[in-house]
Amino acid sequence: MKIAYFDCFSGVSGDMILGALLDAGLDIRELEAGLGKLKISGYKLKAEKTARKGISGTKFSVDIIEQDVERRLKDIVEIINQSDLDDDIKDLSKKTFKELATVEASIHGKSIDEIHFHEVGGLDSIIDVIGSLISIKKLGIEAIYSSKIHVGTGFLECQHGVLPVPAPATLALLEGIPIYSTGIEAELATPTGVCVLKTLSQDFGIMPEMKVEKVGYGAGSRELEIPDLLRVYVGETNQGGYEKDEVILVETNIDNMNPELLGYASEILLKQGVLDVFMTPIFMKKNRPGTMLSVLTTWDRLDEILSTIFKEITTLGVRIRHLERRKLSREIISMKTRFGEIKVKIGKIGNQIKNITPEYESCKEIAVKQGIPLKDVYDEAKEAARKALFGEKRTN
């Protein structure tokens, strides 16, 4: 499966994404043809070879020929709906701009219909977003992955005035995405760039296993102390499209503790956000029955987890192992059923749905409130999800 990995060591913006994809082999004439389906005019695309700190890359830009106007979400949606773009590109484009409108509305205390896009509603930003989606499809890329995002620090000037970096809209979009700063005083990550990656990326973190075929560099507009570039790796994955990450397994053997206290400790660990806690009956020295406590967590939570283990459990030591994990990409959706809204977890490889699982707590809440069997709620949610995702009733 063909995948791409965006290395955001100097942040990300919409024009840098397009520059990187052009540098990785996309023909700008294909991009122009794809954007021609938008049925809008008044712009010209430019792609120029340049260098940042001695590294060659492509600088993409949009020359606005006619005076641009401010737009609301409904204006952009209308442009997309009236275009001849493929349906999947239309859906992803509308999803991206709705996400942008939602965070802007939340920050300004307005509804998404009231929000006037400023920078992100300009013609150049529309081209950055939709052009990125077109380019990824043109290159035959089936799945996108991204690194953690370098965000910068300091302040920036925009139509709202002087704002901190990351800008409030950018920071809202970055919720749930790993970020970092090295003290560079510049806006390294823009709302448009972050939103495109958030819409498309299966995961943010370490690079998945892949055979690299092309590397592209998209150039930014500034001279920084680091190369102002976005790097993209394009190649074939050797892991069947599964996501890959690293987890920590903490284990300890216990033979001198009240089982009720051990259960309490497990509850605390789960509340702290570990990935899983499980206990295995074992026989220890001198055939004493005991329990092996296993905690699956991430590196950033390790110190907190160890503190809890040594505070709540009688053990004098633990074993720590680094494990590589392969998993399906996951998405939680809300399904409307005759019992009410129920959350359903979708497992995917690329764009292929492999698993549909109703969320237990969501089903349980409805079953308890309405006094109906849990299995009926579960089956109803699963069937509703299948109909919505596949457009037909399935029995398997």
Q: State pLDDT tens for residues 216-246.
A: 999 999 999 999 999 999 999 866 667 778 8
Is-cis flag, bond preceding 168, omega within 30?
A: no
pLDDT more than 90, % of the chain: 73
Report the pLDDT value the prediction gives residue 118, as an integer from 0 to 100. Answer: 52
The predicted pLDDT at position 160 comes to: 66
Q: Does domain 329-390 have CATH number 3.40.1030.10?
A: no
- For domain 244-327, the question of CATH label 3.30.70.1380 is answered with yes
Instruction: Extract the runs of DSSP E, i.e. beta strands, from the chain.
Output: 2-7, 43-52, 55-64, 71-72, 116-117, 143-146, 149-150, 155-158, 161-164, 179-180, 201-204, 210-219, 229-237, 243-254, 276-283, 289-297, 319-327, 329-337, 340-349, 352-358
Mean pLDDT for 297-323 is: 95
Q: What is the mean pLDDT of the chain?
A: 91
pLDDT at residue 51 is higher than 90: yes
Q: Kindly tell me if the per-residue pLDDT of 121 is higher than 60.
A: no
| pLDDT higher at 105 or 188 | 188
Q: Domain segments of the chain: what residues?
A: 2-241, 244-327, 329-390
Indicate if 329-390 has the same CATH topology as 244-327: no
Task: Categorize the per-residue pLDDT at 394 as very low, low, confident or very high, splitting at 50, 70 and 90.
Answer: very low
Buried b (16+ CB within 10 A) or exposed e, 249-280: ebebbbeebeeeebeebbeebeeeebeebeee
- Categorize the per-residue pLDDT at 375 as very low, low, confident or very high, splitting at 50, 70 and 90: very high
Residue 353's contacts (CB-CB under 8 Å, 6 or more residues apart) are: 346, 347, 389, 390
Q: What is the mean pLDDT of residues 21-39?
A: 96
- Listed ranges 119-123, 133-137, 162-166, 327-331; the one with the highest mean pLDDT: 133-137
pTM above 0.85, yes or no: no
